Amino acid sequence: MSQDALLLVEGLKVIFPTDAGIIKAVEGIDLAIHPGECLALVGESGCGKSVSSLAILGLLGTPPALVRAQTIRFDGQNLQALNEQQMAQIRGKDIAMIFQDALTALNPVMSIGRQLDEVFLKHCGMNKSQAKEASIEALRAVGVSSPAQRYRQFPHQLSGGMRQRVLIAMAFAASPKLIIADEPTTALDVTIQMQVLEELRAMQRKSGTALMLITHDLSVVNYLADRILVMYSGKIVETGPVKQILKRPAHPYTEGLLTSVPRLDTCNTRFYQIPDQVPNPMNKPSGCHFHPRCSHAGELCKQTVPSLRSLSPQREVRCHFPLQKGEGGDSQHA
Amino acid sequence: MRTTRRKNNLLAMIWHHPQGQVGLILAGLLVFAAVAAPWITPFDPYDVTQRAEKGLAPGWPHLLGTSISTGQDIFSMLIYGARVSLLVGIVTGLAIAFLGAFMGILAGYGGRFWDTLIMRLVDVMLVIPTLPLTIVLTNLFGKSYGMIIFIFTIFGWVGLARVIRSQVLVLKSSNYIKAAQLAGASRRYIMFRHILPGVSNLLIMSTALTSAGIMVAEAGLSFLGLGDPTAISWGKMLAEAQSGGALLFGHWWWIIAPGIGIFLSVFAFMRIGLALEEVFNPRMKRSGMLLRLFKSINGSYIQEVFDAMDDRPETDEAGKEAAP
Amino acid sequence: MRKGYVLERILYTVFIFFIVITLNFFIPRIGVEDPAERYYPPQGNLTDTEYSIIKQLTRKQYGFDVSGWQQYLRYLSQLSRGDLGTSLQAGSPKVSTLIAQRLPWTLVLSLSNMLISVTLGLLLGTSAAWNRGKFADRALMNASTVMTALPAFFLALVFSLYMGFEWGWFPAYTEPDMVASFDWSWRAIAQVARNAALPVISMSIGGVISYAQGTRNSVIAVSQEDFITTARAKGMSTRTVKYRHVLRNAMLPIVTSLGMSVSGLIGGSVVIEQIFNWNGMGTLFLTANNTNDYPLMMGIMLFLSSFALLANLVTDLLYSLLDPRVSAGGGRR
């Protein structure tokens, strides 16, 4: 199965040494994305999901971070063996990123148009006027009104939703094979979120680009993704197809996440919250990192870190006492 | 009461900071020198009968020689000079802190009227050239250090007020201020009990740095002869050295000595101010630190940390094989 | 929108200008009942009647004989004709003439200083920022701590002593014939350069360090912003990121400081000029002070203030060109 993966990451680990201690941001995660697939990486803030994506693209500087990975392979190429110049060729062209807060993610003193042009000029071998045309067309394609006018404007002159669309346009510009979207709608108003998400989904379907969606918002996951990876405190705790996991989560954390989503169709008087707080990345609990907050925790959980185990051909879970027993009995590697 | 406790910790915090320690020690020595001048100097530069041969080179008993113009002992003058610098520097620093804080808080929190008024005032003051104005005012009203302190304060509060005002604006939108407003606290109450402590860190830091800057400025003014003509100050020593021919005859000690005095006093207060800044804003990590930290990391320790993250192959209770 | 900003700034500047003029008018009149006493202080050999007649004449000559309001209006109309007053020097030269004579010489020093400080400062600062923690950076931090504690005039004296007197590299006092014999020839220019060397070096050491420090901090701050990560994620080369994205943004605060330092361009070199006996505005002002030449002093003050105002205005407008966020009603503040 991992043979035809577009992006294959195995054993990714990221730490940040500081004089107060070592921050263990990512503790050995594996992921695989196939062409055209949409994979969601889900977790609370601070669980290491953004750091993972930056690490894959080599955007974490070596101070302050230390990155190790067994494999980071994209389209057959070993990304770890590439130097900065070669990575720059891949970034934006084969793998693109969409960041969370479009206001800070865009250069405030450069016009939108120029920032879009940059991608076309560098990766598509166009000249200035071709790039301009392409940029305006790209703006139109993401649903930005009066694109020719917007082309000349600056980020602060656009609304939040429009800025996010610009980021989407920038990502799709060079027709990359994979787009990593880090919380693409979190900074937006709820009403705008839907529009932008639809835009994203439409573009992804149309171009067949693989999408790695990083988010903490489960409704977004439901709308866009095919598979989910749930991350907690630097480790992947559950993987599987979206529909199955959302219906029958296997890991207590996933269950907690689902329960805390407020629902309009039931009449609860209180909102559910997973008790306590996300663990301090410098000082993590022993054994399973989730055990202090887990209502199903047992003695074993305090002592031993559970391994990631298959529940079914398509699902894995990292838990000593998972909530689901898995379909069909014994595990099988696909 | 809360503020005094914090001040005690403040001194401790500066002390523990390596550069802050240097600053404190230096400042302490200078203050000591200034206060104890009449007792620790070998000669009394004010006493005409204690003049010696003019233009002596450093030696014994005149450690830094004597001045060409009057035969005063330079070393003693150096010690006495600390008085003016420290006095003007610290007093002005405090005065500016008060005035600047007052104006800054008033502008930031007192309402549109005060804000506009004060900011316009700031704009006007920034445009007027300070040195020429000081010269004019000392001409009109007499030369004294009191006048200098006054003028420095009148001009100096402007920069601080702006910075304080920005901070106040930030605080204004914070939740606990809004809560206090909702609870019905009067403007004055909020300004004193909430805003003022909120800017106190900034104030303390600025006072140290401002004092340092004032000392430099005072040296310049004394050099131009705008201070009290009867007092000994480092700036004036430099002026006397120049007019007395130290340059011509190569009496470098007469020039270097007051210069070192100025340098040490400014350096001490700057160190204190910068140490305070790092104490209050620990994010401003000094650039060398991170790099040094990385260089000194034990490679095998790091490898251990990474290895510890791997899943261990294990058998669970049901005896099923674990996934790799 | 931009035109509105420009207009607003200009009107505001005019407003402040009037306040400055008024202040300038009042300052010599503060605390004195009879301004004539300033111009002609009492001297022992005059009887009371003689002295009061002299005061009357003095008052008439300097226009103190009319009411305060009238004096003010006269002052305004005088200013509108570009007349900054008449000096008390022998020959009663116009203040504006004297300023015009000395101004270029001060500018020689200030502009050289600014040029050197900004170019070297930028180079050193960016080099320090991009080599964080390494030698260039640490050297800058250390130099910065030391240099801010050493006033420029002290450095001037030290340089004057060594490079001037002891080693004879440059003239320690400005050669007296430099101004009079200036004829735009290469010889004359070389002479000016030689004489200006020590003053400029003394001033620019502090300036270089200051700009270097500012640039370094700005570049580091900008480098950590999100949009730089975006630029890298787009696949922009390190060079492109550094220059087109980082520097372009990091320069903004530097432009602001540059603008602010322009206002001190003329008045800031008083002490240095005095040390080297340089024939500029600084020494003019000091002479005026020593001879109690109030018209000259106040005329220079007004000139300096106006210059500072103008410099601020130009800087604001220039900045709004560079930073598109500004003309939307914001401002450098």
Rounded Cα gap, residues C262 and C318, in angstroms: 13
Chains sharing 3 or more CB pairs under 8 A with chain A: B, C
**Strand, helix or coil for residue A259:** helix
Domain A7-101+176-317 has CATH 3.40.50.720: no
What does pTM read for this prediction?
0.83
- Over residues B243-252, the mean pLDDT reads 83
**Strand, helix or coil for residue C206:** helix
Residue B88: predicted pLDDT:
92
Q: How far is C225 from chain B (nearest CA, A)?
A: 15
Q: Is B218 exposed, middle or buried (0-12, 13-18, 19+ CB in 10 A)?
A: buried
Structural domain includes residue B279: yes
Contacts of A84 in chain C (CB under 8 A): 238
- Over residues A95-117, the mean pLDDT reads 89
pLDDT tens readout for residues B304-321: 888 888 877 654 444 444
CATH number of the domain encompassing residue B175: 1.10.3720.10
**Of the candidates C216, C163, C150, C232, the residue with the CA atom closest to the CA atom of residue C194:** C163
Structural domain includes residue B67: yes
Q: Give the number of domains in chain B.
A: 1
Interface of A with C (CB under 8 A): 54, 57, 59, 84-85, 88-93, 96-97, 99, 101, 104-110, 118-119, 122-123, 154, 156-157, 167, 170
pLDDT tens readout for residues B76-123: 888 888 988 899 999 999 999 999 988 988 888 888 888 888 888 888
Rounded Cα gap, residues C8 and A256, in angstroms: 57
CA count, 13 A, side-chain hemisphere, B43: 23
- Region of B65 on the Ramachandran plot (φ > 0 left; ψ -120 to 50 alpha; else beta): left
B315 C-beta neighbours (distance < 10 Å), count: 9
Whether pLDDT at B47 is above 80: no
Task: Tell me how many residue pairs between chain A and chain B have CB atoms under 8 A apart.
Answer: 52
- Tokens 């790091």 sit at which residue? B302
Rounded Cα gap, residues B69 and B148, in angstroms: 26
Q: How far is C190 from chain B (nearest CA, A)?
A: 25
**Strand, helix or coil for residue A16:** strand
- DSSP letters along B212-252, please? HHHHHHHHHHHHTT-S-TTS--HHHHHHHHHHHTHHHHT-H
- Judged by a CB distance cut-off of 8 A, whether residue B307 touches chain A is no
pLDDT tens readout for residues B2-24: 444 455 576 777 677 777 788 88
Long-range contacts of A299-307 (CB under 8 A, 24+ apart): A304/B314, A305/B311, A305/B312, A307/B311, A307/B312, A307/B313, A307/B314, A307/B322, A307/B323
Chains sharing 3 or more CB pairs under 8 A with chain B: A, C
Rounded Cα gap, residues C300 and C284, in angstroms: 9
Structural domain includes residue B238: yes
| Candidate from A215-229, B195-209, B288-302 with smallest mean pLDDT | B288-302
**Of the candidates C298, C302, C103, C152, the residue with the CA atom closest to the CA atom of residue B127:** C302
Rounded Cα gap, residues A31 and A1, in angstroms: 12
Smallest Cβ–Cβ distance between C267 and the set B132, B137, B291 belongs to B132
Rounded Cα gap, residues A17 and A174, in angstroms: 36
pLDDT tens readout for residues A253-291: 888 888 877 776 766 667 777 777 778 777 888 888 888
* B21 membership: H or E segment, kind and range: helix B18-35
Q: Which two tokens stand for residue C184?
A: 């735009």
Residue pair A331/B324 in contact (Cβ under 8 Å)? The answer is no
- Judged by a CB distance cut-off of 8 A, whether residue B112 touches chain A is no
Contacts of A305 in chain B (CB under 8 A): 311-312
Q: How far is A78 from chain C (nearest CA, A)?
A: 17
Residue C40: predicted pLDDT:
67
Interface of C with B in 205-264 (CB under 8 A): 220, 263-264
- Cβ of C226 and A110 within 8 Å? no
Residue pair C249/A109 in contact (Cβ under 8 Å)? The answer is yes
Smallest Cβ–Cβ distance between B306 and the set A68, A304, A309 belongs to A68
Rounded Cα gap, residues A65 and A51, in angstroms: 10
Quick one: CA torsion of B252, B34, B152, B107, rounded to 10 degrees?
A: 140
How far CA C225 is from CA of A45, A105, A166, in Å, comes to 19, 8, 18
Amino acid identity for residue C153 in this structure:
F
- Judged by a CB distance cut-off of 8 A, whether residue A21 touches chain B is no
- Tokens 């166009």 sit at which residue? A126
Which of C130, C228, C232, C240 to substitute to test the interface with A, most A CBs within 10 Å?
C232
pLDDT tens readout for residues C184-227: 888 888 888 888 899 999 999 989 999 999 899 899 888 888 89
Q: Is beta strand A7-18 parallel, antiparallel or unpaired with respect to A71-74?
A: antiparallel
Average predicted confidence (pLDDT) for chain A: 85
- For this complex, say whether ipTM is above 0.90: no
Strand locations in A134-269, DSSP E?
178-182, 210-215, 227-232, 235-241
Contacts of B305 in chain A (CB under 8 A): 15, 22, 24
- Tokens 């009061």 sit at which residue? C52
Residue C34: predicted pLDDT:
65
Q: How far is C311 from chain B (nearest CA, A)?
A: 10
Q: How many residues does chain C have?
A: 333
Q: Which two tokens stand for residue A274?
A: 């997973």
- pLDDT category of residue C82 using cuts at 50, 70 and 90: confident
Residue C333: predicted pLDDT:
40
Under 8 Å CB-to-CB from B262, ≥6 apart: which residues? B85, B215, B216, B219, B234, B235, C149, C150, C151, C154
Q: Which two tokens stand for residue A329?
A: 């009995």
Q: Which two tokens stand for residue A196?
A: 């932008």
Supply the range of the domain harboring residue B288: 25-308
How far CA C288 is from CA of A243, B132, C41, C270, in Å, comes to 88, 11, 16, 13
Structural domain includes residue B319: no
The answer to whether the bond into A313 is cis (omega within 30° of 0) is no
pLDDT tens readout for residues C35-80: 666 666 666 676 777 777 777 777 777 677 677 777 788 888 888 8
- Tokens 């879970």 sit at which residue? A317
- Tokens 């035969």 sit at which residue? B71
Residue pair B316/A308 in contact (Cβ under 8 Å)? The answer is no
Residue C235: predicted pLDDT:
86
**Strand, helix or coil for residue C133:** coil
C35 C-beta neighbours (distance < 10 Å), count: 18
- pLDDT category of residue C115 using cuts at 50, 70 and 90: very high
pLDDT tens readout for residues C134-179: 788 888 888 888 888 888 899 999 998 888 888 888 888 888 888 8
- Judged by a CB distance cut-off of 8 A, whether residue C292 touches chain B is yes
Query: How many H helices and E strands in chain A?
Result: 12, 13
Rounded Cα gap, residues A114 and A96, in angstroms: 17
Rounded Cα gap, residues A22 and B249, in angstroms: 62
Whether pLDDT at C228 is above 70: yes
Rounded Cα gap, residues B148 and B138, in angstroms: 8
- Cβ of A63 and B310 within 8 Å? no
Average predicted confidence (pLDDT) for chain C: 83
